[in-house]
Every structure is written in C-alpha cells, then in structure tokens.
Amino acid sequence: MSKMDEVIIVAPRREIFTDERDTFHGFLPLADPRLEPILRGLCASPRGARRGDVEEDPSLKQPIPYVVVRRWGEGGVAEVFAYTRLTGGGEARLHGKVSVGVGGHMNRDFSHETLETVVWEEAARELAEELQFADESGAEVEPPHARFIGLINDDTGPVQQVHLGLLAIAEVPRGVQVSVRETDQLEGSWATLAALRHPDCLARMESWSVHALDGIGNR
C-alpha cells in the first residue's frame, strides 16, 4: 500500500483554534491555560482520512506525536538523542537537516479523556520503528514511556501548516544504548542542549525541532 493511501487522523482547524482565536506559534506547554480549549477542539471531532487527500488541505490539521528521547548525563546535564538525515533518505529537501524528534501520523481515534494514552501508545510505535533501545549487555529492550508535555504549531510553510505536533519526552537511563534502525537514512548521536542550540546547529535544524528545544528544557 502506498503511504498516500494510509488512513490517518485529522481534525478541522477551525475547531482546534476556535476560528483562529486560539492560534499560536511555537511550543505551548500543558500548564498554559490557552492549551485547554485547543485540546478540546482537537478532540471534538477527529476522523480518519486518506493521507493523499489531506496532505495539502490547510483546513485540516494532522496531529503528529513528536517524541524527544532524553537522558541525564554526568553532572545532571540533559542530553538529547539527535539525528541527521543522510542522502539515503527519500526526502531530498531534508538531507543534512538535524532533528531531535521522532514523529509519525496517528492512526487511532481519541477523545479528550484518552488523548494522553493514545499519544503514548502511538509514540511507542514510532520509537520502536525508528530507533533501537538496548541494555548494557546489548539486548534489545522496549522503548521508554513517552510523557506528553504540550503542542507545537508552525504555520510558516505548506508542510507545517497541515500538521500539529503533540510533543512528548521519553526518558532513558544513562546505561541504555540508543541507535537508529535505518542507518542509510539517519545518523544518530547524543548531544547537549547547549550544543543543539549553537547557531551553526540551529541553522540546519528542522523547525519543529527548534520549537521542541524550547519545550523540553528541564521538564
């Protein structure tokens, strides 16, 4: 099956942002009072749609669980698993880009009460597909639990305009080894927040990852 025939979850933009009254740019944490009406709008009437039919429809938002893998290094310094897209990847416009998030479309319906659980389950699927987790002996282990922390919205381009990021953090103990599965497409390594926020790195970073760095901090 072509990826464009995949049935994904979408929600009307007008309901999510209450006819644009609740629109925001960047990262919005769960603790922000502006988030609640947006979440209720997102959960009001999500539905399945053929991906190819909605990829260029700005009247609909495609919710995307976007998971950052983090560990606490020596001295309590936060490190994030970042990856660079190689030329073996399919999207030429993304070659050389740096990302800190693993993301994918949602395939399961949800309500306001079940959203956090569904985000966790969908995030676990994405982590398992994209990354490999192993203990100190090298034995593969289950992906860590992902904790939903807020939303990412960026309407500055046609791709971003049709997506809504559901940002989550997956914490791993320092002894857990993390690696990318598709080594011809991605190159992964641990990096401190300071290194990722260096201007040279930010210049190559995908926009959602820039917003995610604003969101993770010490959360």
Tens digit of pLDDT for each residue in 141-183? 999 999 999 999 999 999 999 999 999 999 999 889 999 998 9
Per-residue pLDDT band at 75 (split at 50, 70, 90): confident
Q: Using alpha carbons, select from 35, 14, 15, 40 the residue that is nearest to residue 24.
A: 35
What does pLDDT average to over the chain? 92
How would you class 46 by CB atoms within 10 Å of its CB: exposed for 0-12, middle for 13-18, buried for 19 or more? buried
- How confident is the model over 78-133, as pLDDT tens digits? 999 999 988 554 554 555 789 999 999 999 999 999 999 999 999 999 999 999 99
Beta strand residue intervals within 13-160, DSSP E: 26-29, 47-50, 60-72, 78-85, 98-99, 102-103, 131-134, 146-153
pLDDT, tens digit (0-9, with 9 covering 90-100), for 22-45: 999 999 999 999 999 999 999 999
Extract the tokens encoding 51: 């991906």
C-alpha count within 13 angstroms, C-beta hemisphere, residue 116: 8
CATH 3.40.50.460 is the classification of domain 64-216 = no
Q: What is the pTM of this model?
A: 0.93
